[in-house]
A and B are shown apart, each in its own frame.
Chain A
Amino acid sequence: MTRISRRGLLRSGAAAGVLAATGLPVLAQAKKGGRLRVGLNGANTSDSWDGRTHSDAFMVNCGQGAVFDCLTEVSASGELIGELAESWEASPDAKTWTFTLRQGVTFHNGKAFGADDVIASLNMHVAEGAKSAAQPIVSAVTEMKKLGTHQVQITLNAGNADFPFLMSDYHILMYPAGQIEEAIAKGIGTGLYEVVSFDPGVRFVGKRVAGHYKDGRAGWFDEIEIIAINDSSARTTALLTNQVDVINRIDFKTEPLLRANPKTMIFEVTGNQHNTFPMLMDVPPFDNLDVRLALKWSVDRQELVDKILQGHGRVGNDHPIGPANQYYADDLPQIEMDLDKAKFHLKQAGRDNLMVDLHVSNAAFNGAVDAAQLYQASAKGAGININVVREPADGYWSNVWLKKPWCASYYSGRATEDWMFATAYESGAPWNESHWEDARFNELMLMGRKELDSARRRTIYHEMQQILSERGSSVIPMYANYVDAASTALAHGENIGNNYQMDGSRIVERWWFA
């Protein structure tokens, strides 16, 4: 398969067709038929078909994964391809984007898909007072213009080279214009599966639509049933007793048993999900770079991966960009545990020893308390005394995170570098969890946002990751894998998407019964 630069596709998405073609040989063995039963967590009785409220695995898999489509899609191999958009074109300043839409697409109720639907759907997030989880990523939209029945022009208030990428977000689903309320009530989208029944917090049943533009490359099952199983042991039992064919988020403790079972297989990817220990860099002693470095060099990251994630992860390098991002800098020197270096930096800071409080709770991430204790043990060797303060899980995000000078936290990561940085590292952002502030970093962020050239963007984002790694104020010791399990009766394509769990939340589209 020829490797096409992901970014090269951005400026002009016309090559998307080439990608689809190169993906075909792998799928040659894919077979149609069968009813896929999926067991997922993250279901609630308040779930609905409103993409603005989707946040957990269950609805993301039902919404974006089955019933609805977005303008663009991140393929299993990580490339951005067109979903309802066929191609897209940017003005040189990346401020104006023109999307050409796919022809002949219909919603499940028979309505034809066109430019009006795109504008109405985007308006659900953009409109004044719209409360959408996707608001931060579309807030830059100032104007949406219909150029033709199948062409839309979107103007931003500032250049954003990632805009087509953002259109693949699972909140920004395409609804039929003028029937949005009905579409939310009944689940009327353009996806491969139409709703047969939906019982919020309990289950969803979908049926393959007869003719679809993804025919031949996705949508192999005749029927799908997504069952809400929030308890992880119950999910495992359901898979083992053949009540479901595939489950998400398996318990690491039972993973060896599932692996040993000849009827089940584990599929695991390292995405952008990472655990952090943010230090408020405007609060002493963390305002001193050497103190921060001493702490960075005194944690045994591999030990955390081995013991907290039980091997299902990868060591982090104190920046939030992960392997599922396009410009992940995997060539940066890895920070390891080096107590001599830690002692040296402590001395540079004019200290012989250091006494700091680390506020943690398992609400931050599973095993955060144990991770803090391992950190405490390893840092002791460098003369750093970490006092682990165990906080209640209730109200942790309100009372501890962003308030205590040093605590534990996590991010599921973002599809683009800029989005991740803007969420948690831009000065003044409400979730800037370490109060990170750096002139060069801010300058690079603005440069990267407007830059359309792939090579230059790589350099920019590389430097930003380097800055965070070398002097950032968060200790990011590890990436946590997405670990799911399936019956061996199932088969999948060459790649498994790592932008989200369950093959990028698109397992019902991409997999088939072998």
Chain B
Amino acid sequence: MVSVTRIVLQRLVLGLLTLFVVSIVIFIAVNMLPGDFAQAILGQGATPEAVEAIRRDLGLDQPPVIRYFQWLGRALQGDLGSSFAQANFANFTGTESGATTVAAQIAPRFANTMFLAGVTAAIAVPVSLVLGILAALYRNSAFDRVANIFTLSSISSPEFFLAYVLILFLAVLNPLLPSLSNIYSDMTLGQRVERTLLPALTLTLVVTAHMMRMTRAAIINLLASPYIEMARLKGLSPLRVIVHHALPNALAPIINVIALNLAYLITGVVVVEVVFVYPGIGQLFVDAVKIRDIPMVQACCLIFAAAYILLNFSADILSILSNPRLRHPK
């Protein structure tokens, strides 16, 4: 187990380094975009004086390198700053109390995103595992073909298209579910789940194919191994062979794919959020990029990057733990 601890530490350090690099890349990228916050927020009202005033108030008149290190210094102390929009607003009205921090703005949105990801995962992961196992069990049968065609066509269609197809069938033609998924803090869990169901189903369609195909492929891969043959020769049922003998050994790649898809559910669902008016973090992020709100963009990107790093990292650890050969290296 010593090696696992070492790997954990190593990966955590590497993860922090990655976050640091991500923050530099994002900062440079946002600064390279044409226009800045002052111009974006003022729009048609952008007189040179007004632009100058906002830049001065927000410290945008300083060179980017200095601004980056100021941000970094505060971020290292756990302060992600205030979004430009909020800071500008506070300047505008002259009230300091009105300014809320990036963290306070992101927190409820991030919770919503996690909720949607959770509901989706609760549906998508079992469904794709079961489908994958069944497809492996009845490989090359009509069931296998249909499952493959269905999941592959849904992953190949754009998300908004799937979303509208679901809206058409489940909200317009058969009004079973609400097409608006705006959830609020004072809703009961049941209402929330009901409102979240359509976007969750859309995302399920998007992520199922990947996980199901990987489950199927990983299991089939093992079916040619001698120990599976042995199990079959013992007279075990095909289902038992697959679930008890093949699946444990196929877990590593499956866990990896599940982790990737979970990360996608946290970071890549902005289109679905827009279609269903779901108040998640993706929408916030896109709005922030649009107005070049750098503190907000940085914070969102760090969350996205951290989600990928943590999920990949836990996938690796879980694969090691699920594989005795890796758990006890020579």
Contact = CB atoms under 8 A, between A and B. Distances in A.
A378 B275 CA distance: 39
A181 B277 contact: no
Given A44-B287, A53-B92, A240-B172, A397 B42 contact: yes
Given A46-B85, A231-B274, A398 B39 contact: yes
A50 B89 CA distance: 10
B92 A241 contact: no
B329 to A, nearest CB: 50
A48 B98 contact: yes
Given A197-B186, A241-B167, A243-B179, A409 B277 contact: no
B160 to A, nearest CB: 8
A203 B184 CA distance: 8
Contacts of A147: none
Which of B95, B182, B186 has most chain A Cβ within 10 Å? Answer: B182
A52 interface: yes
B279 A46 contact: no
B39 A397 contact: yes
A237 B182 contact: no
Given A48-B98, A241-B167, A430 B47 contact: yes
B10 interface: no
A133 to B, nearest CB: 8
Contacts of A202: 182, 184, 279
B77 interface: no
Contacts of A44: 85, 287
Nearest to B53: A131
B180 A238 contact: yes
Given A237-B179, A241-B178, A398 B46 contact: yes
Nearest to A46: B85
* Contact count band on B: 35 or more
B94 to A, nearest CB: 8
A238 B167 CA distance: 10
A228 interface: yes
Given A234-B277, A397-B39, A181 B95 contact: yes
Contacts of B274: 230-231, 234
B273 to A, nearest CB: 10
Interface string B271-303: 000111101000010010000000000000000
A44 B178 CA distance: 23
A237 B184 contact: no
A350 interface: no
A410 B44 CA distance: 9
A199 B112 CA distance: 14
B323 interface: no
Interface in B147-165: 164
A398 to B, nearest CB: 4
A394 B33 contact: yes
Contacts of A13: none
B178 A227 contact: no
A269 interface: no
B249 interface: no
A199 B42 contact: no
Contacts of A329: none
A237 B165 CA distance: 12
Nearest to A235: B277
Contacts of B91: 131
Contacts of B175: 241-242
A397 B43 contact: yes
A45 B182 contact: no
B251 interface: no
Contacts of A163: none
B279 A201 contact: yes
A37 to B, nearest CB: 9
Interface in B11-51: 33-35, 39-40, 42-47, 51
B89 A231 contact: no
B105 interface: yes
Contact of B44 (A228, A230, A240, A401): A401
A327 to B, nearest CB: 25
A233 interface: yes
A231 to B, nearest CB: 5
A256 interface: no
A217 to B, nearest CB: 32
Given A48-B89, A202-B184, A243-B178, 7 more contacts: A50-B93, A131-B93, A201-B279, A231-B277, A233-B275, A237-B167, A410-B44
15 contacts: A45-B105, A50-B93, A53-B93, A131-B92, A131-B94, A230-B274, A234-B275, A241-B180, A244-B180, A395-B34, A395-B40, A397-B45, A398-B39, A398-B42, A401-B44
Interface of A: 39, 44-46, 48, 50, 52-53, 129-131, 181, 184, 197, 199, 201-203, 227-231, 233-234, 237-238, 240-244, 392, 394-395, 397-399, 401, 409-410, 430-431
Q: Give the 3 A-B residue pairs with the shortest CB-CB distance, closest first.
A: A395-B35, A398-B39, A243-B180
